């Protein structure tokens, strides 16, 4: 009988689209999220942890392709119940933190307070093609209020977002929460598309195709045109006013020379949209005046402008000035999803990109008001508003500003000079821990003392403790300041080196006090 082939060893590699997080990565993220959680807690929000797995049915419209349950998510079908004859439920790793909130709000609606204010932090998974900076598992940090239709809830989310950014170390002047409202844009669209049948669509344009292909009433056709306009103005940041005008009308050529089809509006019909996009004034009052002019006689638009005015007043009352949060009509991302106020937090300081070019860091959070969150489960509309912080983006910003360093550094390392005295070394580490100081005993081969110091260096240890037989007999220990030692070795003159010894001898009873002095 032939011998079975030896099984090949598995490859030690991270799956594509995933990554491993080590010491400082984890502690930096945890410290940042802990500070954000403190802000949310002070605002009265409760933490919520949901299952990493949801039914595909519960994920609902949040899936990119509901006809293929495993598209866009990591999904699997449970085995059929024995004797049942049919396959089990489709399950999936959660795609975001919003779909689980919808399910929780519906499932526990009789037990939860209304409004329900919660924050959630944790990993989410998306079965998408990985790429540079694009991973299949990443962290999200959300805060939402479910069950309140008041713009006071939206204003509170914006104020809380500003507080959270400052809590993690972003200084005032280095960020701005920018606020817009979908209702204002709806009003602008009403002003532009007053009578769909009177729109002058040239044959072959996107507008003409929509008119021919949509056998519905005028309202439905106008909604289709509105969606096309929304997709166009979402490009405002990239192509500017003239680029948006071209895309709303006859189209434009991109940088490659390819012709991009326009929506088919006339310049007169596009004018209200452009007025909306360029209505940012010197302050909130000026911006609101321009927006009122842009929406014209639209009741929906006027309602949106009034909501923005209310938010501006509420933010001012909460001490959030316009240098922290401001009304800004150029915020157009997400307007296809949100139904009322929409906002994003932008970091305004300049960094160097991978090619050494100066650029503004950009957006690290976004959110707004949305309907239909719980309606899929209950059939009743439940208003909601919330914000999501890009955890990796914000952490990258803190690193760019030098604000994400590990304050705790590595542990104090107690070196081992004599194997038989391990209990004494463990007692030293225990005393340090009891005083709130991170400490560990070296547990490798103690024969080579140099290797112990190399280990301490790799651990980022600020201090090493040394006690040989001679020190033990005299009841003293050597305390080596590794940070000062490295600095002296790199920069100090001989006289400075002599005047700043990086290693001191103290009594065993003074060990904790000396380490505290060094760390302090």
Is 174 labeled as ligand-binding?
Answer: no
Three-class SS state of 328: coil
CA dihedral 265, 271, 273, 278 (to 10 degrees): 140
Q: What is the DSSP pairing of strand 137-146 with strand 251-253?
A: unpaired
Distance CA 43, CA 143 (A): 11
Is 98 labeled as ligand-binding?
Answer: yes
84 burial level (CB within 10 Å; 0-12, 13-18, 19+)? exposed
Distance CA 106, CA 114 (A): 12
Question: How many Cα atoms within 13 Å fall on the side-chain side of residue 79?
Answer: 3
Opening angle at CA 395, ends 34 and 321, nearest 5? 75
Is 96 labeled as ligand-binding?
Answer: yes
Is 140 labeled as ligand-binding?
Answer: yes
Distance CA 37, CA 39 (A): 5
Is 398 labeled as ligand-binding?
Answer: no
- Tell me the H-state helices in 449-493: 449-458, 469-474, 482-491
Question: In the structure encoding, which two tokens stand for residue 462, read together?
Answer: 């600020």
Which residues, 6+ apart, have CB-to-CB distance to 33 below 8 Å?
121, 139, 141, 391
Is 333 labeled as ligand-binding?
Answer: yes
Q: Inter-axis angle of helices 449-458 and 482-491, to 10 degrees?
A: 90
Contacts 24+ apart (CB under 8 A), 336-339: 336/227, 336/230, 336/231, 336/234, 337/368, 337/370, 338/182, 338/368, 338/369, 338/370, 339/182, 339/183, 339/368, 339/369, 339/370, 339/371
DSSP class of residue 131? Answer: B
Specify binding-site residues.
96-98, 126, 140, 144, 333, 337-338
Binding residues for L-histidine: 96-98, 126, 140, 144, 333, 337-338
């Amino acid at each position: 009988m032939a011998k079975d082939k030896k099984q090949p060893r598995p490859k030690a590699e991270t799956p594509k689209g995933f990554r491993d997080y080590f010491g400082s990565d984890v502690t930096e993220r945890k410290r940042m999220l802990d500070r954000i959680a403190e802000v949310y807690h002070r605002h009265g929000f409760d933490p919520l942890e949901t299952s990493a797995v949801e039914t595909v049915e519960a994920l609902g419209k949040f899936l990119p392709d509901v006809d293929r349950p495993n598209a866009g998510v990591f999904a699997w079908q449970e085995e059929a119940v024995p004797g049942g004859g049919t396959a089990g439920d489709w399950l999936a790793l959660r795609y975001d933190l919003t779909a689980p909130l919808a399910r929780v709000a519906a499932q526990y609606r009789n037990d939860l307070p209304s409004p329900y204010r919660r924050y959630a932090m944790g990993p989410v998974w998306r079965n998408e093609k990985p790429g540079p900076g694009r991973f299949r598992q990443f962290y999200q940090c959300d805060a939402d209020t479910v069950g309140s239709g008041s713009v006071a809830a939206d204003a509170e989310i914006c104020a809380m977002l500003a507080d959270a950014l400052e809590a993690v170390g972003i200084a005032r002047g280095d960020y701005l929460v920018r606020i817009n409202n979908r209702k204002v844009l709806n009003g602008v669209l009403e002003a532009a598309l007053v009578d769909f049948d009177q729109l002058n669509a040239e044959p072959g344009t996107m507008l003409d195709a929509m008119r021919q292909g949509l056998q519905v009433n005028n309202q439905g056709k106008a909604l289709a045109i509105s969606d096309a306009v929304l997709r166009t103005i979402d490009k405002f940041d990239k192509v500017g006013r003239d680029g948006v005008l071209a895309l709303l009308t006859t189209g434009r050529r991109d940088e490659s020379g390819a012709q991009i089809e326009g929506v088919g509006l006339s310049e007169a019909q596009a004018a209200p949209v452009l007025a909306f996009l360029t209505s940012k004034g010197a302050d909130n009052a000026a911006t609101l005046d321009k927006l009122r002019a842009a929406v014209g006689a639209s009741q929906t638009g006027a309602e949106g402008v009034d909501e923005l005015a209310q938010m501006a007043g509420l933010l001012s009352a909460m001490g959030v000035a316009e240098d922290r949060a401001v009304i800004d009509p150029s915020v157009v991302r997400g307007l296809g999803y949100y139904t009322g106020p929409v906002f994003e937090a932008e970091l305004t300081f300049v960094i160097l990109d991978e090619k050494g070019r100066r650029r503004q860091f950009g957006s690290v959070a976004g959110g707004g008001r949305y309907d239909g969150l719980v309606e899929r489960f209950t059939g009743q509309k439940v208003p909601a508003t919330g914000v999501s912080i890009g955890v990796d983006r914000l952490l990258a910003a803190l690193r760019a500003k030098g604000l994400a360093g590990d304050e705790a550094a590595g542990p104090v390392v107690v070196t081992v000079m004599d194997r038989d005295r391990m209990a004494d070394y463990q007692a030293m580490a225990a005393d340090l821990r009891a005083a709130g100081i991170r400490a560990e005993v070296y547990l490798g081969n103690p024969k080579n003392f140099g290797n112990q110091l190399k280990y301490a260096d790799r651990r980022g240890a600020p201090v090493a403790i040394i006690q040989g037989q001679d020190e033990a007999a005299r009841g003293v220990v050597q305390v080596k300041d590794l940070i000062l030692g490295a600095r002296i070795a790199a920069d100090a003159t001989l006289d400075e080196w002599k005047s700043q010894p990086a290693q001191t001898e103290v009594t065993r009873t003074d060990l904790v006090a000396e380490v505290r002095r060094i760390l302090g």
